A and B are shown apart, each in its own frame.
Chain A
Amino acid sequence: GAGVSQTPSNKVTEKGKYVELRCDPISGHTALYWYRQSLGQGPEFLIYFQGTGAADDSGLPNDRFFAVRPEGSVSTLKIQRTERGDSAVYLCASSLQPGQTSTGELFFGEGSRLTVL
């Protein structure tokens, strides 16, 4: 597709369950980002991939959160043992490689709204 695609758009789960959120970036974009937006807050950085590798995962809140991008395109954010505080909208964005051909414009998906009961 033309834009960043995220699935599912909505996910309701129970405390303690495992969740996967998927992001399909814009074709040709080598950089991929995950952000988390809690109610009433701006997006907060979680992790950044350049190609297949996580270039910066310092925003992941704890070891229950993990993300992969095995082929340098689609990425999956994985949350283990979900807690009610994990409820938020998880945003994915992609861009051209920062610092070279890009001037920093991120293209965001519509997000995956996670609700942990």
Chain B
Amino acid sequence: AQSVTQLGSHVSVSEGALVLLRCNYSSSVPPYLFWYVQYPNQGLQLLLKYTSAATLVKGINGFEAEFKKSETSFHLTKPSAHMSDAAEYFCAVSGGGSTLGRLYFGRGTQLTVWP
């Protein structure tokens, strides 16, 4: 079975500060891991994904995440926050193969960016 825990339902940072959104996963098979972003009144948009290739994954808008098997983590980071990064972020895991699209999402982290 797969599950995801996102630590912190709300994160606030100042513009220009480091963004760190935490995600820990549980999976009985080698996981595929995803971060999605949801802007107000919009659909979920893929930020980045880990599919068993490089452990450091770069995504859109300057975000990246590192897969750490020993820590069962896939934390999302961005060196310098921008006002436009304010949104809700979801971490998700799937088991791959034929179940690739069945994602198990965390509860989400709302990111606020202060000027």
Binding site for B on A (CB under 8 A): 3-4, 31, 33, 35, 40-45, 48, 55-56, 59, 91, 93, 95, 98-99, 102-106, 108-111
B46: interface (CB < 8 Å): yes
A residues near B4, Cβ cutoff 8 Å = 42
- Beta-carbon contacts of B61-96 to A below 8 Å, as 1s and 0s? 000000000000000000000000000001010101
B residues near A56, Cβ cutoff 8 Å = 99, 102
Binding site for A on B (CB under 8 A): 4, 6, 9, 32, 34, 36, 41-46, 49, 51, 90, 92, 94, 96-108
CB of A14 to closest CB in B, whole Å: 25
Partner of A105, one of B49, B99, B106: B49
Known contacts A43-B44, A111-B43: does B96 contact A104 (CB below 8 Å)? yes
Partner of B44, one of A45, A91, A99: A91
A95 touches B101 (CB 8 A): yes
Known contacts A42-B107, A99-B96: does B101 contact A31 (CB below 8 Å)? yes
B43 touches A48 (CB 8 A): no
Number of inter-chain CB pairs below 8 Å: 77
Partner of B34, one of A33, A41, A99, A104: A104
Partner of A104, one of B9, B41, B101: B101
A48 touches B101 (CB 8 A): yes
List of 7 A-B pairs having minimum Cβ-Cβ separation, nearest first:
A42-B105, A98-B100, A108-B43, A108-B44, A104-B100, A110-B43, A98-B101
Q: Which residue of B lies closest to A6 (CB)?
A: B43
New A-B pairs, 11, CB < 8 Å, besides A4-B43, A103-B51:
A42-B106, A43-B44, A43-B90, A44-B105, A45-B103, A55-B98, A102-B100, A104-B34, A104-B51, A105-B46, A105-B49
B residues near A109, Cβ cutoff 8 Å = 43
CA distance A28 to B45 in the complex (A): 19
A residues near B36, Cβ cutoff 8 Å = 108
CA distance A55 to B90 in the complex (A): 25
